[in-house]
Amino acid sequence: MSTLTLFKNVTHWKTGEKVTVAVEDGVVIPIPRRGHEHARVLEAPQAVLAPGLVDLHVHLREPGQSGKETIETGTRAAAAGGFTAVACMPNTVPVVDTPAWVEWVLARARGAGYARVYPIAAVTQGQKGEQLAPLQAMARAGAVAFSDDGHPIESAAMMRRALEYARNTGLPIIGHEEDPTLRVGGVMNEGFTATRLGLRGLPNAAESIMCRRDADLAELTGGRVHLAHLSAAQSFDALRDAKRRGLPVSGETCPHYWVLTDEAVGDYDTHAKMNPPLRSEVDRAACIAAIADGTIDCFATDHAPHTSDEKARPFAEAPFGIVGLETALALTLTYLVHPGHITLARAIELWTDAPRRLFNLPEVDLEPGSEADLVLFDPQAEWTVEPELFFSKGRNTPFAGWNLKGRVLATMMAGRFTHLAPEVDFEHQLVLPAESQK
């Protein structure tokens, strides 16, 4: 018994046209000719239908840190944010650095079922930067990329070997770009706010120097480098230069870098503490410019849940990271699309087609035959961020109380609704008129 679902009279994310899309047995199908009394019909002319969003950079915290998040709560949060697929980082306890742990994450994700989970495996054993992890075997087990995220690969020689060794797999190495010798105890962006608060700074150059190093190593080895969570103006320049040189280098940035500056730290607000840190207004503007001119290849959230206790520590002792899955789309619409920096279609592309292409994930579109991984959202609907309503275990967001414009109404994975906003109402029966079924 399969249920027919009709997204009736919705706006196509790319063409802007009003369309009706039918889903049955987990895939998009041609609109059936016959009437369907038992169809689930979602009619929302103000809403946009798009392929489900993809987040290439999340921390699901399993194995080992289920107090912060689990694969189940993390993917449930992803669904609430309009995501149907996430790639999860291996800096767990223990580190995902063996094929067995890759398989464990995949098995666990199948049980949770709110989003497709693509494991990212560690580059080096224990993410210690000393010895390569079994990259080929982990790729066969299902890893989609390699990263020591959370830690930089300090040694250029180790990064070189990793790129050479990973070349066979065709998978990228994701760089957490941070020169550890320039980091020395830094807890926020180096600049006026850090000086005012007497906190040790993390300079832009700590990030950009490593971006340039890894671009050169990509040239040397022919291996693919993906630069994670770029924050500094000089890093966007480094990525731009790498592309001009035709190198196999790509890069992502996150919503907080185009919305916030280090001023948000205010008086030691740990909800504005993440690594890389919030930067200056110059960097924020450079981030938007790099998005607008196509330098940035895709968006990601760097969703990093922590417990309230951990974030309630004094600033220097609180962990780095904020949650991002449930605010990402609204922050994209409110701060990039509505002000006119990029079009709606481009913004959605950076959350959908772009990351799927980068990581060779199955393509999704609204045409018959496509996997029915979809998101329906109202770009104009306004809502207030209330962390206590998050599906994530993490409440650590700097956006609590913010009013944002753009709201996820429904998320569907493989034809099954994984999220429905409270205002989506199943009760009213609506029979499709014949003419709209063409």
Interface residue list for other proteins (CB under 8 A): 3, 38-44, 46-47, 190-192, 194-201, 203, 259, 263-269, 271-272, 312-317, 334, 338, 378, 381-384, 402-405, 407, 409-410, 420, 423-426, 428-431
Which residues participate in the annotated binding site? 57, 59-61, 91, 149, 176, 229, 275, 302, 306, 320-321
Nearer to other proteins, 2 or 360 (CB): 2
**Residue 331 Cβ vs other proteins, minimum distance, rounded to whole Å:** 11
Q: Which residue bears the tokens 């200056």? A: 280
- CA–CA separation, 256 vs 230, rounded Å? 11
**Residue 313 Cβ vs other proteins, minimum distance, rounded to whole Å:** 7
Question: Is the sign of the CA dihedral 360, 366, 367, 369 positive or negative?
Answer: positive
| φ/ψ (deg, to 5) at 388 | -65, -15
In the annotation, is 25 catalytic?
Answer: no
**Residue 420 Cβ vs other proteins, minimum distance, rounded to whole Å:** 8
- CA–CA separation, 325 vs 80, rounded Å? 8
**Residue 37 Cβ vs other proteins, minimum distance, rounded to whole Å:** 10
Residues 325-360: b if buried by 16+ CB within 10 A, e if exposed: bbbbbbbbbbbbbeeeebebbbbbbbbbbbbbebbe
Q: Where does residue 271 rank: exposed (0-12), middle (13-18), buried (19+ CB within 10 A)? A: buried
Catalytic residue among 55, 214, 262, 302: 302
**Residue 43 Cβ vs other proteins, minimum distance, rounded to whole Å:** 6
For the record, the structure tokens of 191 come out as 């600049």
Which residues participate in the annotated binding site for substrate? 59-61, 91, 275, 306, 320-321
**Residue 259 Cβ vs other proteins, minimum distance, rounded to whole Å:** 8
Nearer to other proteins, 31 or 424 (CB): 424
Find all residues with CB under 8 Å of 12, minimum gap 6, and list them: 18, 19, 48, 49, 366
- CA–CA separation, 332 vs 348, rounded Å? 9
- CA–CA separation, 165 vs 153, rounded Å? 15
- CA–CA separation, 78 vs 303, rounded Å? 10
Strand partners, 11: 18, 48
Nearer to other proteins, 147 or 411 (CB): 411
- CA–CA separation, 70 vs 219, rounded Å? 38
Query: How many residues would you count in the chain?
Result: 438
H-assigned helices in 245-278: 255-259
Provide the CA 251 distance to its chain's centre, in angstroms.
12
- Give catalytic residues, as residue numbers: 302
